[in-house]
Structure 1
Amino acid sequence: MGAVAVIGAGVADWALAGVRVSEAADPAAVRVAWDSLGDDVSVVLLTDAAAAVLGTELAEAGTRLVAVIPS
């Protein structure tokens, strides 16, 4: 099974569950975090704000499972 990553603002606590955390408080940081995901990441959790920034990128997520979590 691949790794799980979370992107967004206020997601630091997810590290306690072994999730790779990318704190991203602004649109540019969200895009950098998304573009930096390794090939081993198969599940990505996004805050609703991060998902709004990514828009079309989410449609092209390929085999990754992407879920939006409430912030």
Structure 2
Amino acid sequence: MAGVAAIGAADLVAGFGLAGALVLPAEDPESVLAAWRSLPPDTAVIVLSDAAAEVLRAEPAVRAPDAPLTVVLP
């Protein structure tokens, strides 16, 4: 089954765990990149904080055709 993950500041993404998402708290650019790289292969959707999305904009793997769908929190 495809999974959902959330990456960003702990206070912004913690609640997604209640819905069954894999929560990967990341407070700085290095931890955001580490969280992205640690995603399980079956991840289909990733919820990102605005700060995490900004870090990942330059990451080529995010724009790959087979990359998971990303959604940025408002």
Give, in whole Å, the separation in 1 of the partners of 2:37 and 2:43. Answer: 12
Identity %: 47
Structure 1: state its 5+ residue gaps.
none
SS in 2 for 1:56: coil
Structure 2: state its 5+ residue gaps.
none
1:30 aligned partner: 32
1:67 aligned partner: 71
SS in 1 for 2:27: coil
TM-score (norm 1): 0.88
C-alpha change, 1:63 and 1:27, in structure 2 (3 Å) is closer
Structure 1 residue 54 corresponds to structure 2 residue 56: yes
2:5 aligned partner: 5
1:14 aligned partner: 16
C-alpha change, 1:29 and 1:36, in structure 2 (3 Å) is same
Give, in whole Å, the separation in 1 of the partners of 2:55 and 2:65. Answer: 14
The count of aligned residue pairs is: 70
1:14 to partner: Cα distance: 1.1
TM-score (norm 2): 0.85
1:56 to partner: Cα distance: 2.6
